[in-house]
């Protein structure tokens, strides 16, 4: 158990809709990363927050946004969903000076 | 730029056989960290090991062992006496010492046949 909690575990929604994925970090972890894992793209880094501020941005679409709240939980918002957004979305926290990341169990998003 | 290559897409072995998963990386940095993660069918990503670029000692943990060779930019993972529970996708990853982004390979799907 990584200690990183993600909700919901599974989500099915229609194209054009908006969803919010939630991540509760390990206690004391200031960094949060979001990754997308799809069949054709593999594991793609989306975005990182550190103590509430955006630290790094990867291959995140403009339709997607994220934020980290004062209590360090994070949300990933996905809007105007397309079929291709169907994927497993991971949240992760870093420890040990940021050089190891521990993943949550992921949120399976299916867009129909 | 950083890049991690796992050339083996899928591997199948019979239970109790040894298997080695290859990982080759590219980086211009002198300080970096290498990782292996396991993704079982349930989907979660499980951290297995971290190795920094200054430590080339091989590591053994039970049936798992890792061979880090800077000369060939490789960080290979060997499972000895494989078991069905080892069936999973294994990812190799790299991060620069000063970086925020983990670079993952495309993964190797290992199937252990009973």
Cβ distance A108 to B33 less than 8 Å, yes or no, reads no
Question: How far apart are alpha carbons A109 and A9 in whole angstroms?
Answer: 8
Q: Which two tokens stand for residue B56?
A: 């080339």
Chain A hits for B50, CB-CB cut-off 8 Å, are 96, 99-100
Q: Across all residues in chain B, what is the average pLDDT?
A: 92
A110 φ, ψ (degrees, to nearest 5): -120, 125
Sites in chain A below the pLDDT cut of 70? 95-98
Kindly determine whether residue A33 and residue B102, on different chains, have CB atoms separated by under 8 Å: yes
Identify the CA nearest to A38 among candidates A84, A105, A6, A101: A84
Q: Tell me if chain A has a CB within 8 Å of the CB of B31.
A: no
Locate the chain B residue with the closest alpha carbon to A103.
B45
**pLDDT of the residue at B99:** 65
Largest Cα–Cα separation, chain B: 43
Query: Which of B43, B96, B107 is the best residue to mutate to test the A interface, defined by the most A CB atoms within 10 Å of its own CB?
Result: B43
CB < 8 Å to A90, chain B = 45
**Token code pair at residue A36:** 């997308």
- Backbone conformation region of residue A46, classed left if phi is above 0, alpha if psi is from -120 to 50, else beta: alpha
CB distance from B91 to chain A under 8 Å?
yes
Q: What is the DSSP letter of A3?
A: S
**Residues A102 and A95: beta-carbon distance below 8 Å:** yes
The reported pLDDT for the residue numbered A95 is 67
Mean pLDDT of chain A: 91
pLDDT at B1: 80
Let me know: does B19 contact B77? Beta carbons within 8 Å: no
Q: How far apart are CA A89 and CA A109, in angstroms?
A: 7
Min Cα separation B13/chain A (Å):
23
Contacts of B94 (CB under 8 A, 6+ apart): B2, B4, B25, B27, B32, B33, B34, B35, B102, B103
Digit-coded pLDDT (tens) for B72-105: 999 999 999 999 999 999 999 998 876 667 889 9
Q: Nearest chain A Cα to B39, which residue?
A: A105
Of B42, B46, B50, which has the smallest distance from its Cβ to A99's Cβ? B50
Over 80: is that where the pLDDT of B51 sits? yes
Cα(B70)–Cα(A102) distance, rounded to whole angstroms? 25
Could you tell me the two tokens for B52? 């920094």
Is the peptide bond preceding residue B110 cis, with omega within 30 degrees of 0? Answer: no
A75 with A22: CB under 8 angstroms? yes
The shortest CB-CB distance from A48 to any of B44, B50, B100 is to B100
pLDDT tens digits, B57-68: 888 889 999 999
């Amino acid at each position: 158990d990584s200690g990183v909690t993600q909700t919901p575990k599974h989500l099915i929604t229609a194209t054009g809709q908006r969803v919010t994925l939630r991540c509760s970090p390990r206690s004391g972890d200031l960094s949060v990363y979001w990754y997308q894992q799809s069949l054709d793209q593999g594991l793609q880094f989306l975005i990182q927050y550190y103590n509430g501020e955006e630290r790094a941005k990867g291959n995140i679409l403009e339709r997607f946004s994220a934020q980290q709240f004062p209590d360090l939980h994070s949300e990933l918002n996905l809007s105007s969903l397309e079929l291709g957004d169907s994927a497993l979305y991971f949240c992760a926290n870093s420890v040990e000076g940021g050089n190891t990341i521990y993943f949550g169990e992921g949120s399976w998003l299916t867009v129909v | 730029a950083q890049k991690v290559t796992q050339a083996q897409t899928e591997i199948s072995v019979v239970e109790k056989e040894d298997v080695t998963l290859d990982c080759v990386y590219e980086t211009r940095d002198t300080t970096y960290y290498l990782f292996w993660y396991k993704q079982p069918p349930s989907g979660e990503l499980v951290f297995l090991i971290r190795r920094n670029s200054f430590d080339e000692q091989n590591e053994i943990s039970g049936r798992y062992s890792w061979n880090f060779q800077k000369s060939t930019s490789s960080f290979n993972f060997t499972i000895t006496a494989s078991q069905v529970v080892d069936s999973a996708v294994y990812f190799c990853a790299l991060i620069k010492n000063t970086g925020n982004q983990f670079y993952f390979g495309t993964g190797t799907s290992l199937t252990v046949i009973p």
